[in-house]
């Protein structure tokens, strides 16, 4: 069965970077893409970006102004989300979710358990 | 960016009630509108995709309709496990955006 498993919780100082991983299993990795979505404490969902697992093509929300990079490694069936120059407002649970095909008309079918990233001095 | 507005932001309902949640887009999203359910401490779960298609395994009491800018999620005969927060999402244009959520609580 399809399973997405993320890396563990992180605590970072302001200005640092964080890299969260999401390992996929139970399906052909390259046939899906991945979205990254975050949720600040008590708040709604915010879409961050998408990567095609097959081609590596990406789309990002401009809200992250060049601080965000999403990558994938087909050899380990893993996608990574790196966010740089962290500030307190980046404290959130970060989720990966997969989707068939491209971002257009996508629906986020399976979600990982989420990773809490806390930014505090 | 396409702004998604959900209403109401919260509501109280009883088991057995019929519920309708609306989602309005600031510009057309065609039929590319999804609905998710989220329970506290859990990841969201896809309920409805492409406006009206029921995700596999989701009970048939959930349904969706609409097109263009106005969409609805309907829950027929609310069950105890349906008390949660519901989000709409457009996947028509980058950035993909979510509505602010509708929290359904027990009356």
d(CA B14, CA B39): 17
Q: Inter-chain contact A107–B34, Cβ cutoff 8 Å?
A: yes
Question: Residues A66-94: what's their mean pLDDT?
Answer: 97
Percent of chain A residues past pLDDT 90, beyond the cut: 96
Chains A and B form CB pairs within 8 A to the count of 63
- Cβ(B92)–Cβ(B28) under 8 Å? yes
**A23-32, A40-49, B38-47, B53-62: which has the minimum mean pLDDT?**
A23-32
| Average pLDDT of the segment spanning A35-62 | 97
User: pLDDT (tens digit, 9 = 90+) per residue, B5-31?
Assistant: 999 999 999 999 999 999 999 999 999
CB B99 within 8 A of CB B6: yes
- Pick the residue with more confidence: A88 or A66? A88
The answer, yes or no, to whether residue A29 has pLDDT greater than 90, is yes
Give residues with Cβ within 8 angstroms of B82, minimum separation 6. B37, B75, B104
Which residue from B24, B41, B53, B49 is spatially nearest to B85, judged by alpha carbons? B41
The average pLDDT across A19-40 equals 96
pLDDT of A121 strictly over 90 = yes
Burial bucket for residue A42 (CB in 10 Å: 0-12, 13-18, 19+): exposed
Q: How far apart are CA A16 and CA A100, in angstroms?
A: 33
Which tokens go with B61? 């009491």
The predicted model gives A19-23 an average pLDDT of 98
Which residue in the set A47, A103, A105 is minimally distant from B50, CB to CB?
Answer: A105
Give the model's pLDDT for residue B22. Answer: 98
- Residue range A66-78, pLDDT digits in tens: 899 999 999 999 9
Q: Which residue of A has its CA nearest to B93?
A: A104
Contacts of A33 in chain B (CB under 8 A): none
Token reading at A43 = 């708040």
pLDDT at A17 over 90: yes
């Amino acid at each position: 069965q399809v399973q997405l498993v993320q890396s563990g919780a992180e605590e970072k100082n302001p200005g640092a970077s964080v890299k969260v991983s999401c390992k996929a299993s139970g399906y052909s990795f390259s046939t899906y893409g991945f979205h990254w979505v975050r949720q600040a404490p008590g708040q709604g969902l915010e879409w961050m970006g998408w990567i095609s697992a097959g081609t590596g093509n990406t789309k990002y929300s401009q809200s992250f102004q060049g601080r965000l990079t999403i990558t994938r490694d087909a050899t380990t069936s893993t996608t990574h989300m790196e966010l740089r120059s962290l500030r307190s407002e980046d404290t959130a649970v970060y989720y990966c979710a997969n989707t068939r095909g491209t971002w257009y008309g996508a629906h986020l079918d399976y979600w990982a358990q989420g990773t809490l990233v806390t930014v505090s001095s | 960016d396409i702004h998604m507005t959900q209403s109401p932001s919260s509501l109280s309902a009883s088991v057995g009630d019929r519920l309708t949640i609306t989602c309005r887009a600031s510009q057309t999203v065609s039929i590319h509108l999804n609905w998710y359910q989220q329970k506290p401490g859990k990841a969201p779960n896809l309920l409805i995709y492409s406006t009206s298609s029921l995700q596999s395994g989701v009970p048939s009491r959930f349904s969706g309709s609409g097109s263009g800018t106005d969409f609805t999620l309907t829950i027929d005969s609310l069950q105890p496990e349906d008390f949660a927060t519901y989000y709409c999402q457009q996947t028509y244009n980058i950035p993909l955006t979510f509505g602010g959520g509708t929290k359904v609580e027990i009356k």
